[in-house]
Chain A
Amino acid sequence: MSGKRGLFFLPTLALWQREMTRFVRQRSRIIGALATPLLFWLLIGSGLGESFRGAEVEGGFMRYFFPGTVVLILLFTAIFSTVSVIEDRRDGFLQGVLVAPVSRASIVSGKCLGGMTLAAAQAALFCLAAPWAGLPLDGAVVVRLLVVLLLGGFALTALGFVIAWPLESTQGFHVMMNLVLIPLWLLSGAFFPARAGTWTEWAAAVNPLAYITAGVRRAFYGDGADLGLVPTFGAAMTVTLIFAAIMFVLALRVVRRGGPESR
């Protein structure tokens, strides 16, 4: 017999590959994840730009809002890549994976790495437009961007996985998205900066998305820039790494506990 332990590397690769193939074959997902934030950026950015004035947002609102839009793309792509968990369960596909001699860590890893790749790639694509927003790209910026997009993409996919796994329908998922994730994003500093001494300060401090937004902002501006309460790149990435690790462990736990049909 080929051993009593679950397989890890090959199944992880296979699960990752399937995410890629599916994404490419569902063109609407590419458009949805990229076009919505782009529209947000253009419409809200230019519409609010006139009425939005503050010391922190020199360079105009379009420039301020750009990193937030990158995070929105990251969030949308990562989270929606985990909707397939619910679809796979409904279609019976997931059962086929669960009865295979595949380690449960491999199921979580394949999914999270897949979502991470898609999210980071889409966000990176959008980042190519940064120079037009007044945010020049150079080697250091690109490296920092890749770090935050990959790490953030992984963490958000793992978060989506934890939300999606126990759900039986995709409706519940959209409720979570609108009620929890969008508000978290709005308070992350993506839309307006947190102000010292107000409730937005602690809202940003306990909001994991705020550290991803901070990471993207610092990736563009560098640690030297005065960005008010925004933490340094290193600090933001440390918190994001811890967040990703916690989400991964939680995802592993929900998988080991079994889906909604096993109760």
Chain B
Amino acid sequence: MSAAVETNDLGRNFGPRTALSGVTLSIRAGEMFALLGPNGSGKTTLFRILSTLLVPGAGTARVGGCDVVGEAMAVRHQIGVVFQSPALDPQLTVAENLRWAGNLYGLRGGELVVRARAAAEALGVSDRWADRVQSLSGGLQRRVEIAKCLLPRPRVLLLDEPSTGLDPAAREGLRATLERVRRDSEVTVVMTTHLLEEAERCDRVAILHRGRLVACETPAELRGRSGTDVAVVSGPEPEALAARVREIFGWPLLVRGERLRVEVPAGGEAAGRLVSALGAAADSVTVGRPTLEDVFLDLTGEPLCGEEER
């Protein structure tokens, strides 16, 4: 299969600040792809370049085989873009917004009405057809926005932090919607996210850190990257625990608050060895396969979480 999105040594500076540097990646047609990273990692810069809103400073990017700079209009014909804040007119109704958006893509008349109805139906917003968008909840607005973006039948759907501002139920609904959309309309889905559970359910994940691409693999491959498991040990005196673990086992570890995160050999014996070595000094010991969070920490040396959206 051909690449739906391809970047080659892509970079962009804002004044003296490097937002993106040397990013080379290829997204296959029909893939569900996540750009994962905290704020300032460059994922939004990459998103804006792919959606033709920002010109790269270095390197090239192609979407659907067309260059985002030289053939920007051809790229725009092929993409649907879902922004963090819905690009809907709150004063217009759902129907008016869909019709209006269709016009921008050259759709009109009977065909437009049929497509708009079908899109509203598919996204479960047809019962709000005649309501003004400002009267809809955030989750519903996001769905109207996606319906709007699917109207012109894009080959690539780009989403910027699609679950921002959604409650857990709406997030789950959005996820199901995206999976269905991808299956039904064979669209390539590319989303930026700083949420691991969102990235976890994509086909492949690109991890961005300080403007650089540090990994681009399936979630399973990422987790399998390290040959180690991760043990989390908690106790009243984490520093003392850390000293003991270092002394006895010499395993790499990190102290985070009340807890100790230890990289232990895979295989399952580590839990027992830790419990017998630490005894009553530890309140609990849990060992598991590394999560994407662990992988992120390994790759970047920094935790992903703890940062809120702007």
Contacts and interface: CB of A to CB of B under 8 A. Distances in A.
B77 A3 contact: yes
A21 B92 contact: yes
A144 to B, nearest CB: 35
A4 to B, nearest CB: 4
A102 B91 CA distance: 22
Interface string B38-68: 0000000000000111110000000000100
A103 B73 CA distance: 8
B76 A99 contact: yes
- If over half of B's interface residues share one DSSP class (helix, strand or loop), that class is named, otherwise mixed; here it is loop
Interface in A12-66: 13-14, 17-18, 21-22, 25-26
B203 interface: no
B165 to A, nearest CB: 12
Nearest to A106: B104
A93 B88 contact: yes
Contact of A101 (B51, B53, B55, B73): B73
Interface in B67-116: 71, 73-74, 76-79, 81, 83-92, 96, 100-101, 103-106, 108
B74 A13 contact: no
A139 interface: no
Nearest to B15: A263
A13 B108 CA distance: 11
A114 to B, nearest CB: 13
A92 B161 CA distance: 14
Contacts, number: 90
B73 A99 contact: no
Contacts of A226: none
A258 B55 CA distance: 10
B89 A99 contact: no
Range of interface residues on chain B?
A: 20 to 34
Interface residues of A, number: 33
Residue of A2, A22, A100, A103 contacting most chain B CB atoms (<10 Å) = A100
Contacts of A102: 76, 104
Contact of A2 (B66, B77, B79, B84): B77
A95 B53 contact: yes
A215 to B, nearest CB: 34
Nearest to B86: A92
Contacts of A3: 77
Contacts of B85: 91-92
A93 B89 contact: yes
A5 B81 contact: no
A99 B81 contact: yes
A4 B66 CA distance: 10
A17 B79 CA distance: 24
A7 B108 CA distance: 13
B83 A18 contact: no
A262 B54 contact: yes
Interface string B104-130: 111010000000000000000000000
B89 A1 contact: no
Nearest to B91: A25
A5 B73 contact: yes
A228 interface: no
Contacts of A13: 103
A182 interface: no
B100 A14 contact: yes
Contacts of B74: 1, 4
Question: 6 shortest A-B CB distances, which residue pairs?
Answer: A96-B87, A14-B103, A92-B85, A101-B76, A100-B104, A4-B74
9 contacts: A1-B78, A6-B76, A10-B104, A10-B106, A17-B100, A22-B89, A91-B87, A96-B81, A96-B101
Given A7-B106, A17-B100, A258-B55, 10 more contacts: A5-B73, A11-B103, A11-B104, A91-B90, A92-B87, A95-B53, A97-B87, A100-B76, A101-B105, A258-B53
